[in-house]
Structure 1
Amino acid sequence: MKRIILILIAILLGVSSPAYANVTKENRQWQDETIYSIMIDRFNNGNTQNDFDVDTKNLEKYNGGDFQGIIDKLDYIKDMEFTAIRLTPIFDNRENGYHGYWVKDYYKVDEHFGTMKDFEKLVNEAHKRKLRVIIDFPANSEVKGENLIDAATWWVKKTNIDGYSLPEVNKVPISFWREFSAAVKQQKKDFLLMGVSSGNTADDLEVYHEAGIDSLFDYNESEQMRQVFATTDRSFQSIRPAGDKQNLDAHFFDNEFTKRFTTDIVDERQFPGARWKTALTYLYTTPGIPVMYYGTEIALTGGDIPDNRRLMNFRTEKDLIDYITKLGELRNQLPSLTRGTMEMLYEKSGMAVYKRVYKGETSIIAINNTNKSQKVTLTGDQVEGGKELRGLLGGDIVRSRDNQYILILDRDNSEIYVLAEKTGLNLKFIAAAVIPGILAIWFLLLVFRRSKTNIVE
């Protein structure tokens, strides 16, 4: 009896494993990461002893966020399956420089955020959790170029950070970025440089790639994505990725310099939770590095600066947080979502289905960004026939019939499928139904035997 029960339990555990359980991940690369972006002063106050000139009722003053506050929330960030954090500038700033961009000393941390030891602790604690650390390094100041490069290399050596985000790269000569890139990348293997530039086309940005900047924030693309996902029934044509070269570029909906995307959604009289879920599904499953601004997980709203830099609120419902966590989990476990080729299989007025393929792993992403249910038929030419598509968000299973796959999605719904061999009998259901009964019988027999033994004694 014991042997039979153990066999049935083994069957149940085996068939309940996720479809992607056997995927082996190579050494992580930057394109595999998912970044949580933080404005230090507005995230979390972990040490009131550095609350100099703090006024939480004035968004143009310091609000109290600091390094210790971030340390206290690293597990919160990690639990959402993020793999890196990006911080606004940490350097000593002029009066009221809560945002970090009015740097007056590149070799000191701002006293409102903590001490150098606090920052080093933050980096160490993040690394313990396998979170990479990127900091903003504003280079468009009056400081001489060679001095900026010296400061940048000094921070890498002293604190072991993993990357720089470089605001307004278009306001600094390309020749400087070539020198900057060569210098900092000598200090640490796989150091990432992310360039931020507004008002440039994709072709304009390419020159920065050539200068050694690995990843670029494309504001034009971000604006197009906001227009598509703020409401329903809008075509994906304007946001279709152009190719594999974008795998390292940063993709985002908002940041500390833009209105909150939630504001766009509200202006369209849409429900933020549903809109954000659809938008983030696209962000997490298309080529590029997703960068999510703090507060997105609670659908934080905000207009122009400084309204878009409100204090974070950790007392909120978890529905959107749970969804982000699931997306992050899938992105971390499916290489096809981070390294795969991309092919659009179907697109019409807000309904899109696309395919990501990497080393034999095929993911199919279906996004229904319309106001009604949608039905899409995929042919054997688009997806290999004779198999099944296993849904990892909602649990849907679509089996190949007549060399076709028929996908049906409700409005405001998305699904991430993996292509897998067809399953036969539903062993999971059978085992789940049978095992409790067998365990009950086994328990009764055990009780009966023990009571019989006691009577004999």
Structure 2
Amino acid sequence: MKKISSFILSLCLLFLISPTFFVKAKQDMHDESIYDIIVDRFVDGNPANNGPTNLKEPFMGGDFEGVRTKASYFKKLRFSYISLGSLAKAEDYRGKKVVDYGQLQPYFGTEADYQKMREALNKEQIKVIADFPINGVSEKNVLIPKGEEASWTKPATKKGTVNWNLENKQVKKALMKAAADYAYHNQVDGIRLTGIQGVDPTFLNDLMLILKASNPDLVVLSDDDSDANFDVDYDVGKMKAFQEVFKKPNATATSVVKNIREDREVNPRLLMIDDVNNTRFSEHTKISKGESSPQLKLALTTLFTLPGTPIMMYGTENEMSGKNPPDTLGMMEFKENNELTDYIRKLQKIRSDNPALRNGSFKLLNHQDGFVAYERYDDKKKWLVVVNNTDQTQQMNLSEKAIGKNRELVSLLDGERVYASPNQKYRVALDREQAEIFEIQPRKSVDFPYLSLAVVGTLFVLLMITIVIGVVRKKKGEGI
């Protein structure tokens, strides 16, 4: 198999000057969701392989064995991909300062440990994404030929790191081979290219062709904005919009819901409220120890129901906070009876069980200050998502033209049902800082409020008729 892989790689490099030789197979990521971790900061399954702790940003002991023990945890949360960060041997816990792309980070465990982890994740039908850092690698990287440092690298911002000189064809070829070998030998289902600031999109597109040559189903994404043809569009602006809108009540939601196409986008965008490089969402919303912020639930409801591919950082379910790395990347804690974990599981189940919430069209119905309502729909189902991030109860009336005649709105979060009123309006009311996801169904159940009103009205009419008849009879009797 290794010989076959090398042959395919050589063939790809041979025809690289003519990218049209290959047809790029796009992996559809609309149906997927990603749980993002850093191996070193997740679970310490084997203290014997822990890395150095005397660094400015020390290793904390997380490893492949620790990830393996949590395969069922990812499955319960219904994530289809787990993003592990960089796997390569590096000088830092995040794996950015790569020394050797061809070796696993020894502080994470052995090849056998890695394979056991992969088997456990495969058993739960969870796919693996790994980072492949491009710029900012160690100046000791084994790809750099001795004596050719000046022609192979360029200075980087951090001490002891370098960027690749991608104007050198030999560097391009070596880096492409390293990436293809990395993806193949680690048997990953996805590659996230990191450190791509300033990298020519043409090179990135060529690199993606190489990566997909032996595995067309491989998904390739990035951690920065780029004009390259990634399978998912990275959108840090959308993440910052989530944080700005939901960090406090009454903020206008325009920045979150703007620029969303009504029809299905060809490339989904990554939807996130946290990432490894920025301030944690819960840093903005934390109230006090032991109290959860309602804004996190509102943000998560939107995250899992807007068009796109949701990606959730580890620790979000525990309201991990912090302004900048490494403070934002603490060791993972697992809490019993975690209300947020249960809520995420419920949102994920609703999303995974209903294609319209993953692949359906989008229609914005209302967005005023912190009150937002939108539809997700396809030719079989229609959903209404309402988010009230204000400090007051809010309501809206939707016409039968918008919802449909003889319909009922069934909340999948608390079971509430909404029916059309006598004036043919569907009245949706939400308490402050609450969210609801309604399935719009053909009306099946009896509308007890309006039935009761009709019964009372009928009884009142009958009572009046009885009184009138009694009065008439009495008068007739007196006349006799």
Bin the TM-score by the shorter chain.
0.7 to 0.9
Q: Which moved more, 1:115-124 or 1:126-135?
A: 115-124
Q: Distance in 2 between matches of 1:247 and 1:404?
A: 37
Query: How big is each residue's C-alpha offset from its partner over 1:249-275, in whole Å with a ceiling of 9 and x where there is no partner?
Result: 211111221111111113899964311
Question: What's the counterpart of residue 137 of structure 1?
Answer: 132
Pair 1:65-2:62 in alignment: yes
Q: Distance in 2 between matches of 1:30 and 1:258?
A: 24
Number of residue pairs matched by the alignment: 386
Q: Distance in 2 between matches of 1:106 and 1:344?
A: 46
Q: Distance in 2 between matches of 1:73 and 1:53?
A: 24
Contact 2:285 / 2:293 at 8 angstroms: preserved in 1?
A: no
Q: Distance in 2 between matches of 1:272 and 1:397?
A: 27
Q: Which moved more, 1:213-222 or 1:286-295?
A: 213-222
Query: How big is each residue's C-alpha offset from its partner over 1:280-324, in whole Å with a ceiling of 9 and x where there is no partner?
Result: 000000011111000001111112121011111113541111101
Contact 2:383 / 2:438 at 8 angstroms: preserved in 1?
A: yes
Higher helix share: 1
Q: Distance in 2 between matches of 1:267 and 1:424?
A: 41
DSSP-derived class of the 1:118 partner: helix
Pair 1:242-2:241 in alignment: no
Pair 1:404-2:425 in alignment: yes
Contact 1:246 / 1:287 at 8 angstroms: preserved in 2?
A: no
Change (3 A) 1:270 1:412: farther
Q: CA deviation at 1:77?
A: 1.5
Question: What's the counterpart of residue 353 of structure 1?
Answer: 373
1:312-331 equivalences in 2 (<5 Å) = 312-331=332-351
Question: What's the counterpart of residue 16 of structure 1?
Answer: none
Question: What's the counterpart of residue 141 of structure 2?
Answer: none
Q: Distance in 2 between matches of 1:270 and 1:380?
A: 44
Q: CA deviation at 1:159?
A: 3.1
**Partner AA of 1:219 in structure 2:** V
Query: How big is each residue's C-alpha offset from its partner over 1:5-54, in whole Å with a ceiling of 9 and x where there is no partner?
Result: xxxxxxxxxxxxxxxxxxxxxxx942111111001111100111211324
DSSP-derived class of the 1:63 partner: coil
Question: What's the counterpart of residue 216 of structure 1?
Answer: 233
Q: Distance in 2 between matches of 1:256 and 1:237?
A: 25
Question: What's the counterpart of residue 119 of structure 1?
Answer: 114
Q: CA deviation at 1:247?
A: 5.4
Pair 1:424-2:445 in alignment: yes
Contact 1:265 / 1:271 at 8 angstroms: preserved in 2?
A: no
Change (3 A) 1:77 1:351: same
Of 340, 356, 378 in structure 1, the residue corresponding to residue 360 of structure 2 is 340
Greater Rg over alpha carbons, structure: 2
Q: Distance in 2 between matches of 1:157 and 1:41?
A: 23
Question: What's the counterpart of residue 88 of structure 1?
Answer: 85
Question: What's the counterpart of residue 40 of structure 1?
Answer: 39
User: What TM-score do the two structures reach when normalised by structure 2?
Assistant: 0.76
Question: What's the counterpart of residue 154 of structure 1?
Answer: 181
Change (3 A) 1:271 1:225: farther
Identity of aligned residues (%): 28
Query: How big is each residue's C-alpha offset from its partner over 1:349-385, in whole Å with a ceiling of 9 and x where there is no partner?
Result: 1111100012321111011111111111111232222
Q: Distance in 1 between matches of 2:107 and 2:78?
A: 29
Question: What's the counterpart of residue 324 of structure 2?
Answer: 304
Question: What's the counterpart of residue 409 of structure 2?
Answer: 389
**Partner AA of 1:223 in structure 2:** K
The higher-RCO structure (CA 8 Å, 6+ apart) is 1
Pair 1:274-2:294 in alignment: yes
Pair 1:231-2:248 in alignment: yes
Query: How big is each residue's C-alpha offset from its partner over 1:374-411, in whole Å with a ceiling of 9 and x where there is no partner?
Result: 11111123222221111101111112334321111111
**Partner AA of 2:406 in structure 1:** G
**Partner AA of 1:185 in structure 2:** K
**Partner AA of 1:350 in structure 2:** G
RMSD: 2.3
Contact 1:45 / 1:66 at 8 angstroms: preserved in 2?
A: yes
Contact 2:101 / 2:182 at 8 angstroms: preserved in 1?
A: no
Q: CA deviation at 1:175?
A: 1.9
Consecutive unaligned residues of structure 1, counting only runs of 5 or more, are 1-27, 428-457
**Partner AA of 1:80 in structure 2:** L
Q: Distance in 1 between matches of 2:267 and 2:287?
A: 32
Contact 1:231 / 1:270 at 8 angstroms: preserved in 2?
A: no
Of 178, 184, 205 in structure 2, the residue corresponding to residue 178 of structure 1 is 205
Question: What's the counterpart of residue 187 of structure 1?
Answer: 214
Contact 1:36 / 1:82 at 8 angstroms: preserved in 2?
A: yes
Q: CA deviation at 1:61?
A: 0.5
Consecutive unaligned residues of structure 2, counting only runs of 5 or more, are 1-26, 138-162, 165-170, 449-480
